Amino acid sequence: MTIVEPHTEPEILILNGPNLNLLGEREPEIYGRTTLADIEAMCADTAAEAGLSVRCIQSNHEGGLIDAVHDARHSTVGAVINAGAYTHTSLALHDALKSYDHPIIEVHLSNPHAREAVRHHSYLSPVAAAVIAGAGAQGYVHAGEILIDLLTNAKAKL
Ligand code: DQA
């Protein structure tokens, strides 16, 4: 008899917001040519090196992002989040993330601070442990590494 063990690695939430499903095609001069599937695979590799797995969710809807955060509250150990334009508008996502009691790394492919003024404010930054912006797709890998460092240090303190 073959017994299939349920996967037991702790999970990291990789959450992407509106229009990021179009990565690779959408304004490549700003966001690059790497697709979201490629980015998710890069995050999975980074997580696997630390014995973690990823839960990758993308939604074009504010409520979809909020539901994903609620679902992840007790079943993930940290999150890498690019909320796209909701970064700059969503008090509701900010409130949901306040109920998420694990480290959050905010990531942006572009550097919103070097762009239009409307992109300078972030509702995520006040609840994020770190922010990576302007490093393109590689920023997600950096964000994952920072998250893993934070989780490892938290464990070392126990
Ligand atoms: C973005 C920056 C946001 O201002 C924009 O609305 C996005 C993508 C980024 O990754 O650079 O959709 O979050």
In short, whether 59's Cβ falls inside 6 Å of ligand 1 is no
Closest CA to 67 of 13, 1, 11, 137: 13
- Identity at 77, one-letter amino acid code: V
Domains, the chain, with CATH or none: 11-157 (3.40.50.9100)
In short, whether 132's Cβ falls inside 6 Å of ligand 1 is no
133 with 110: CB under 8 angstroms? yes
Q: How far apart are CA 146 and CA 103, in angstroms?
A: 10
**Whether pLDDT at 158 is above 60:** no
**Whether pLDDT at 4 is above 80:** no
Distance 9 CA to ligand 1 centre (A): 30
Closest CA to 145 of 76, 57, 50, 81: 50
Distance 148 CA to ligand 1 centre (A): 23
Return the pLDDT at 37.
98
Return the pLDDT at 51.
96
In short, whether 122's Cβ falls inside 6 Å of ligand 1 is no
141-157 pLDDT, tens digit each: 999 999 999 999 887 76
Confidence of residue 6 (pLDDT cuts 50, 70, 90): low
29-84 pLDDT, tens digit each: 999 999 999 999 999 999 999 999 999 999 999 999 999 999 999 999 999 999 99
Q: Which of 86, 100, 108, 123 is the catalytic position?
A: 108
The CA angle 58-19-124, to the nearest 5 degrees, is 70
Q: For ligand 1, atom 12, which residue shows the shortest CA distance? A: 84
Q: What is the pTM of this model?
A: 0.94
95-122 pLDDT, tens digit each: 999 999 999 999 999 999 999 999 999 9
**Mutate which of 20, 81, 87 for ligand 1 pocket (most atoms within 8 A of beta carbon):** 87
